[in-house]
């Protein structure tokens, strides 16, 4: 057990750094840049029951200290992920991977999670409940405690692997959602997903994104994410994975002091493909600078 080792739902990670879903593809793309086995693990591209194409362009816009995206969960569908993407990944990544799952109904979530739960390469299921519930008026599952609990309970019935519920920050009280997921059997929660935002082009006087609104990520959201991780870690007994604007080794330590057991890094990967490698390699020096012997001693110290 090294000084950077952490435990996530009973499984040891060599370090707490996990590239976030949607920013790391299916991993093998980044393996062309460096040995991705340096990572704790990574959360692969959000996967749905059926293939999904992207939202119309433009779908990405810059903003101060971050970006806005409205990609729209583009992915090849769970069948192709299992038959093509995971075998390709196995050639370059020799650890368990985190499967990120999205859906638009309970049946969607159950089907996709059940399929991925059977895969030996999958160590955890990260369930994104920021998706609109098509049978519930379009409100995202993650904005209502009862709906969040219903997804959690349904998925837990068909899976054996740890289930991590990925929470939306676009709510009045994120702790209520986290507690509902915990009570319904979640093994962990991850947060925050992107905040809603938009940009307007002064020349055209129209929204920059074709979808009008999108998800804001990047360093600008870090203080909000840190606050929510701190709140949730004090509200539940299950592990919390912190994410939102992390771009340095110092950010990792700060997020763990707020109560995170591990962290996910998103937008930074799109700015610098070597971001996670740089952060991992920089952690020992930063730990030494602040007199931190092991990451275990940090959790929730604030």
pLDDT digits (tens, 9 = 90+) for 131-151: 765 566 556 899 999 999 999
Closest CA to 71 of 219, 214, 271, 193: 214
Closest CA to 99 of 107, 91, 89: 89
Integer Cα distance of 4 and 25 in angstroms: 25
Architecture of domain 6-297: Alpha-Beta Barrel (3.20)
Whether 9 contacts 124, CB under 8 Å = yes
Closest CA to 131 of 105, 153, 107: 105
Three-state SS annotation for 73-93: CCECCHHHHHHHHHHHHHCCC
152 pLDDT above the threshold of 60:
yes
Active-site residue set: 131
Integer Cα distance of 38 and 115 in angstroms: 27
CB neighbour list of residue 69: distance below 8 Å, 6 or more residues apart: 59, 60, 61, 194, 214, 215, 217
The pTM (predicted TM-score) of the whole model is 0.96
CB burial of 40-53 (b: ≥16 within 10 Å; e: otherwise) equals bbbbbbbbbbeebe
Region 124-129: what's the mean pLDDT?
Answer: 97
pLDDT digits (tens, 9 = 90+) for 70-106: 888 899 999 999 999 999 999 999 999 999 999 999 9
Residue 84 tokens read as 């093509």
């Amino acid at each position: 057990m090294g000084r950077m080792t952490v435990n996530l739902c009973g499984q040891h990670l060599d370090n707490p750094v996990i590239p976030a879903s949607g920013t790391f593809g299916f991993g093998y793309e980044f393996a062309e840049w460096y040995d991705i086995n340096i990572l704790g693990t990574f959360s692969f591209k959000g996967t749905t029951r059926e293939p999904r194409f992207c939202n119309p362009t433009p779908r990405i816009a810059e903003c101060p200290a971050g970006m806005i995206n409205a990609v729209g969960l583009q992915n090849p569908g769970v069948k192709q992920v299992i038959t093509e993407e995971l075998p390709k990944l196995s050639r370059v990544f020799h650890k368990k991977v985190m499967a990120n799952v999205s859906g638009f109904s309970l049946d969607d979530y159950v089907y996709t999670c059940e399929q991925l739960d059977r895969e030996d390469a999958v160590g955890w299921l990260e369930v994104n409940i920021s998706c609109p519930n098509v049978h519930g008026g379009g409100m995202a599952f993650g904005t209502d405690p009862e709906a969040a609990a219903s997804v959690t309970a349904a998925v837990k019935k068909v899976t054996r692997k740890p289930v991590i519920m990925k929470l939306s920050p676009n709510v009045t009280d994120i702790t209520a959602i986290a507690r509902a997921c915990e009570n319904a059997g979640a093994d962990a929660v991850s947060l925050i997903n992107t905040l809603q935002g938009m940009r307007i082009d002064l020349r055209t006087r129209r929204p920059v994104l074709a979808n009008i609104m999108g998800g804001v990520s990047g360093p600008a959201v870090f203080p909000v994410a840190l606050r929510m991780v701190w709140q949730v870690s004090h509200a539940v007994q299950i592990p919390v994975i912190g994410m939102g604007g992390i771009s340095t080794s110092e950010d990792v330590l700060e997020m763990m002091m707020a109560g995170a057991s591990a962290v996910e890094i998103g937008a930074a990967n799109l700015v610098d493909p070597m971001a996670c490698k740089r952060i991992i390699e920089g952690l020992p020096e930063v730990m030494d600078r602040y007199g931190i012997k092991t990451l275990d001693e940090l959790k929730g110290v604030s």
